[in-house]
Amino acid sequence: MCEKQVRCCICLDSYTNPVSIPCGHIYCLACIGEYWKHVDICRCPLCLDVFTLEPELKSLPHMENHSSDLCKEETPVTHQEVPCDVCLEGPALQAVQSCLVCLASYCPKHLEPHYQSAALRKHQLVVVCKNRENSTCRLHGQPLKHFCRSDQTCICAQCIHTDHRGHRVVHVIKEWEKKKIQLKKIMLKTQRMIQVKLSTLKDVKQSTDIRAINCDNTTMETSKDEKGELTLPPNCEAADGRPLELMTKLEQEISELERQRVELEQLSGTEDQIHFLQLFPLLCTSKD
């Protein structure tokens, strides 16, 4: 057993809904369920025993870390979170994942059947969707599981044979992984542009400072505004306003790039694949 049976060998944390598999090893229900969803055959991640038939999972409630579990179960839902669609008794608990087939969101307790049932285990689970209608085809009412590269849009299985027949179509996960790499490159490019413009702005300010000191061959002191930025004497500004115009332009460009950088960082943290692909062209097309 792993660490005297106190931690799951997959998540390396205390057990949540612990179950044992035929070989005797114990895992969190969600951990072993997610593991088997992404492998061709059911096997034990630890001893690699292979199970030809769908193995029966034996619940072991006495192994669970009850103190942490109570904290999780009693967590109320705030206005920014998504409530479980199945919770009926008392206030709904916070949903942790959404099913693109059932078109519902589930708390940890009501998510269990998607790991225990062989049929439900085939359903695609994603990070909880706040707007599930955006993950469903408005034309056919089916989950958006595919991405049309020809039209750069998420589509359902029926769309492949209708409006997008003959187009270049891939699974949303494949396109999501590709665009995540593109996003990283765009973020690096944006950061480099910010650094270059900051460096240019610094050089322009230093050059302007020298001009102010030597303006009209007379030593003159520069002053600073409320923000601590160097300003030129009035007679020097009138003599040559180009450096000041350039500084203003650079500051505006840096501000815009910083705004774009924040938007890109927010997009990079979006774990909802459909939402990510829907936002990507709005934030990245002009920057790529």
Q: How confident is the model at residue 33, as a pLDDT?
A: 81
Segment 236-259, tens digit of pLDDT = 443 455 778 888 888 999 999 998
Q: Is the pLDDT of residue 266 over 70?
A: yes
In contact, 79 and 91? CB cutoff 8 Å: no
Residue type, 8: C
Q: How confident is the model at residue 57, as a pLDDT?
A: 78
Convert the chain into a string of H (helix), E (strand) and C (coil): CHHHHCECCCCCCECCCEEECCCCCEEEHHHHHHHHHCCCCEECCCCCCEECCCCCCEECHHHCCHHHHHHHHCCECCCCCCECCCCCCCCCEECCEEECCCCEEECHHHHCHHHHCCCHHHCCEEECCCCHHHHECCCCCCECCEEECCCCEEECHHHHCCCCCCCCEEEHHHHHHHHHHHHHHHHHHHHHHHHHHHHHHHHHHHHHHHHHHCHHHCCCCCEECCCCCEECCHHHHHHCCHHHHHHHHHHHHHHHHHHHHHHHHHHHCCCCHHHHHHHHHHHHCCCC
Q: How confident is the model at residue 221, as a pLDDT?
A: 47
Segment 54-98, tens digit of pLDDT = 777 787 766 665 434 433 444 444 444 678 888 877 677 888 777
Q: How confident is the model at residue 169, as a pLDDT?
A: 93
> How large is the average pLDDT for residues 150-162?
91
Q: How confident is the model at residue 78, as a pLDDT?
A: 47
Beta bridge partners of 125: 99
pLDDT band for 198, please (50, 70, 90 cuts).
Answer: very high
Q: How confident is the model at residue 34, as a pLDDT?
A: 78
Q: How confident is the model at residue 188, as a pLDDT?
A: 94
> How large is the average pLDDT for residues 257-266?
89
In this structure, what token pair is assigned to residue 197? 């413009």
Q: How confident is the model at residue 278, as a pLDDT?
A: 85
